[in-house]
Amino acid sequence: MQLVKRFLVVVCFLLLSSALLPRTLPAARAQDAHKSGVPVYKVDPNWPKQLPNNWIVGQIGGMAVDKDDHIWVLHRPRSLTADEAAAAQTPPTADCCLPAPSVLEFDADGNLLKSWGGPAYIPDWPATEHGIVVDKSGNVWISGSGAANKDVPEDREIFKFTPDGTLLQEIGHHADGPDNNQDTGYFGRAAGMEVDDDAHEIYVADGYGNRRVVVYDSDTGAFKRGWGAYGIPLSEIENGKLPPYDPAAPPSKQFANPVHCVHISADALVYVCDRVNDRIQVFTKQGKFVKEFQVAPKTLRNGSVWTLNFSHDPQQKYLLVGDGANQVIWILNRSDGAVVGSFGHSGRNAGQFHWLHQAAMDSQGNLYTGEVDTGKRIQKFLLQK
């Protein structure tokens, strides 16, 4: 009888301990994160402030932060439904709202400073607004990812504007026919860009139609170099459709569509988002392959690697990877790609995501995010340490 009682006591203790574990482990992990230096973020539910002029934003194609810590947002007015843009209908069906101009500049407090752009702003304005980056001179670069249809040609250019929206330069041109990774005279629905100001070069993640990284002179627009996955030359990049991503298959020797981002680290390495292949590939500036990381490699659909930012510390010890399929921001060791933290969750509340698409970081380490599909919003996450 005594043995039975002791057995029951042990069982009860084990059950009670297991019940407590889910409550205690997250706190312990949070303490470990603080000790290890892994960045911790908290959403600012009051950012940005209400837009003027009865404006509303659509899908967030691109985001960037300039040298003055102003946040630039490129959104898609044409993605708004008739219900969302009711005041723009003929006749208006409700008091709110009107589509905002495509380019919006905010300060760190969420005040709108400047706005311009949008459909018909210039003759070749992108059919689908996508990438935006601001160079050290304040020039604003924009790309588009729109596919051709009966009304508009495919987006095959990138554009350089003054901060006030005056067109300075257009690289690429409209071209009939399928996308072509070997043709450097135009792009294939470019997704993102990064300017190397010291070298006077612009790197282009190209893109939704092509599957390559290409580099151009940011002053003259002349083509300089380009490469595909693993640093293969442009001549070896396949055109047309590829087999769908299979987590059980060997890694693809090609980038998938889209090649969704390109960013340069403080130690002059080029990081590329190979979104559907669930991986980041790293290169030298000349296109020599260095290494790759897989992120949530069982993710299907639209893939796990949508955007990335380097952490705020001088060594850029971590990568913050926006995952629009799992609706989370992964925190990775930049050295080996190991996941050391994450934040976010699928949902509509502040701090949650629906199709997390873009992210940008200011000089204080605060992170700004933008969503597509029906998400259609921007958020600010404050760095806590």
Strands (E), 94-238: 98-99, 103-106, 112-116, 129-134, 140-144, 157-161, 167-172, 192-196, 201-206, 212-217, 223-227
Q: What is the mean pLDDT of residues 107-129?
A: 97
- In a domain, residue 211? The reply is yes
pLDDT score, position 319: 98
- In a domain, residue 25? The reply is no
pLDDT score, position 176: 87
- Phi and psi (nearest 5°) for 78? -75, -5
pLDDT score, position 150: 82
- Asked whether the beta carbons of 51 and 111 are under 8 A apart, the reply is no
- In a domain, residue 116? The reply is yes
Q: What is the mean pLDDT of residues 181-197?
A: 98
- In a domain, residue 303? The reply is yes
- In a domain, residue 34? The reply is no
Domain count, the chain: 1
pLDDT tens, position by position, 350-375? 999 999 999 999 999 999 999 999 99
Chain-centroid distance of CA 122 in Å reads 25
- Asked whether the beta carbons of 58 and 99 are under 8 A apart, the reply is yes
Residue 29 predicted with pLDDT over 60: no
- In a domain, residue 6? The reply is no
Q: What is the mean pLDDT of residues 39-52?
A: 97
| CATH number for the domain that contains residue 204 | 2.120.10.30
168 vs 9, more confident: 168
Domain range holding 127? 42-383
Residue 3 predicted with pLDDT over 60: no
Which residues are CB-neighbours of 286 under 8 A, at least 6 positions away? Answer: 225
- In a domain, residue 3? The reply is no
- In a domain, residue 36? The reply is no
**What is the C-alpha to C-alpha distance for residues 369 and 266, in angstroms, rounded to an integer?**
22
